[in-house]
Amino acid sequence: MKRRPNILVFFTDQQRADSCGCYGSPNGLTPFLDSLGEDGVVFDNAVSCQPVCGPARAVIQTGQFATRNGCYRNAIDLPADGQTLARRMKAAGYKTGYVGKWHLAGTGVEPVPEELRAGYEDYWIAADLLEFSSGPESGFVFDKQNRKREFEKYRVDAITDYAVETLRAHDPAEPLFLFVSYLEPHHQNNQNRYVAPEGYAQRYQDAWVPDDLVALDKPDADWRANLPDYYGCIRRLDENLERLVGVLKERGMYEDTIIVFTCDHGSHFRTRNGEYKRSCHEASVHIPLVFRGGQFRGGRHARQAVSLVDLAPTLLDLAGAAPAEEMDGRSFAAMAGQDIPGWDEAVLIQISESEVARALRTPRYKYCVTAPHKNPWLDACSDLYVEECLYDLQQDPWELNNLIADPACRQVKEELRALLLEKIAASGEETPVILPLER
């Protein structure tokens, strides 16, 4: 491995961690990813700190919480002048490239101008809202010169084609940071359903179903109708991951590349609220995160909790570049080989659009508070919250038993409340009041 490794981020959308074999799925959807995990590092407790598309992407590109970078909900442009991940990579001598779904420019189905690409200067084949510029089998993106690039094939395959094009255009002698962002397994918005490639959903009609979905099979839940297609999307993504790695090998870049597989958030299939994410629950916030390459070898499972806000500082660390001072996250690069002594595993989660809420995930508990008097589209935060959820993740990993009104949990709640307030203040917000639930 050379001093400055290539870094390839393979980024999916709305993918539950438990869809992957390396996170316990028995469905065989991700054999290639699992093989990377067996040779790399699987982060067992990776958490989305903002379980909705645009804000999660803003967190990754800035290393800041969504309320600090301003993109606390969808349809807010990423600030054009920030010290982003790509700009820091560029300053460190990297060629930077982006392929696929952007969701941070507010241009919809129009091209993303260069000043809104956050520093991805060298290679660009993307659409701001890929879910509207395309369907599962056809659509368009734009290249670096804002020329329309149309495709007539399964969207995952087309995005991979553009990533392959980028890899083949790159000089392997120069370090490359390439971010490949898929829409799948996200549902197709204008069809209000998940869409697998032809023939794939049929393979998973009788597949294993996570316990939370089975237990919460209420009338509005749609996992029975969608899970086979969801699984089919994930299988095709894994096949395309294998194809990209094949091109790295073909180009002589594989052993000089750190491959990162992750996503923005999960999916609870309308079991927790009226849509698929935007909740504090593990189905929404527990995400896959696998590194392979560089020091990430040997098949280790890193069990300390990490957050999406930590991803940018970690990638910069691996590139030999310093994170911007205003970044909120911390590098977890040292977890490649061992636990990090004193690592804080309490993760702050900010929730918007469905509700104005804040949650804390610790190794033992999930604690969530909401601001029902606030508008979840217009209000980024609140000065007042009330308790909503408390789950014991050790005793109740599927979060089926809400302990928030249990008198026996009073002390636990007090401790978590104090810690959550500290985390909220550290994220740059004014310290709010949290009212305990009294029943």
Tens digit of pLDDT for each residue in 278-327? 999 999 999 999 999 999 999 999 999 999 999 999 999 999 998 888 99
- Domain match, 55 and 125 both: yes
Q: Give the residue-averaged pLDDT of 57-77.
A: 97
- Domain match, 317 and 186 both: yes
Q: Give the residue-averaged pLDDT of 392-414.
A: 97
| pLDDT above 90 (res 233) | yes
The CATH number linked to 385 is 3.30.1120.10
pLDDT digits (tens, 9 = 90+) for 160-206: 999 999 999 999 999 999 999 999 999 999 898 999 999 999 999 99
% of the chain with per-residue pLDDT over 90? 96
| pLDDT of res. 332 | 98
Assigned token pair, 188: 């197709």
| pLDDT of res. 323 | 83
Range with the poorest average pLDDT among 1-5, 72-76, 95-99: 1-5
The owner of tokens 């260069």 is 114
| pLDDT above 80 (res 438) | no
Asked whether residue 195 is assigned to any structural domain, the reply reads yes
Q: Can you tell me the distance from the alpha carbon of 209 to that of 286, in angstroms, rounded to the nearest whole number?
A: 16
Tell me the one-letter amino acid at 102: W
Say how many domains are in the chain. 2
| pLDDT above 60 (res 36) | yes
Q: Give the residue-averaged pLDDT of 107-117.
A: 97
| pLDDT of res. 333 | 97
Q: What is the pTM of this model?
A: 0.97
- Domain match, 377 and 321 both: no
Residue after which a domain boundary falls, among 278, 306, 336: 336
- Domain match, 205 and 327 both: yes
| pLDDT of res. 439 | 52
- Domain match, 235 and 278 both: yes
Q: Reduced to 3 states, what is the DSSP secondary structure of residue 367?
A: strand
| pLDDT above 70 (res 3) | no
Asked whether residue 341 is assigned to any structural domain, the reply reads no
- Domain match, 260 and 398 both: no
Q: Give the residue-averaged pLDDT of 24-37.
A: 98
Asked whether residue 113 is assigned to any structural domain, the reply reads yes
| pLDDT above 50 (res 1) | no
The CATH number linked to 267 is 3.40.720.10
The owner of tokens 């598309």 is 53
pLDDT digits (tens, 9 = 90+) for 415-436: 999 999 999 999 999 999 999 9
Q: Which pLDDT band, with edges at 50, 70 and 90, does 386 fall under?
A: very high
**Pair 9, 179: CB distance under 8 Å:** yes
- Domain match, 396 and 292 both: no
Asked whether residue 81 is assigned to any structural domain, the reply reads yes
| pLDDT above 60 (res 87) | yes
| Contacts of 120 by beta carbon, 8 Å cutoff, 6+ apart | 86, 96, 97, 98, 179
- Domain match, 332 and 359 both: no
| pLDDT of res. 2 | 52
Q: Which pLDDT band, with edges at 50, 70 and 90, does 342 fall under?
A: very high
Asked whether residue 347 is assigned to any structural domain, the reply reads no
- Domain match, 225 and 104 both: yes
Asked whether residue 348 is assigned to any structural domain, the reply reads no
- Domain match, 274 and 325 both: yes
| pLDDT above 50 (res 407) | yes
Q: Residue 360: give the domain boundaries.
A: 355-435
- Domain match, 331 and 410 both: no
Q: What are the angstrom distances between the C-alpha of 401 and each of 144, 355, 434?
A: 50, 21, 22
- Domain match, 318 and 368 both: no
Asked whether residue 44 is assigned to any structural domain, the reply reads yes
| pLDDT above 50 (res 365) | yes
| pLDDT of res. 162 | 98
Tell me the one-letter amino acid at 135: G
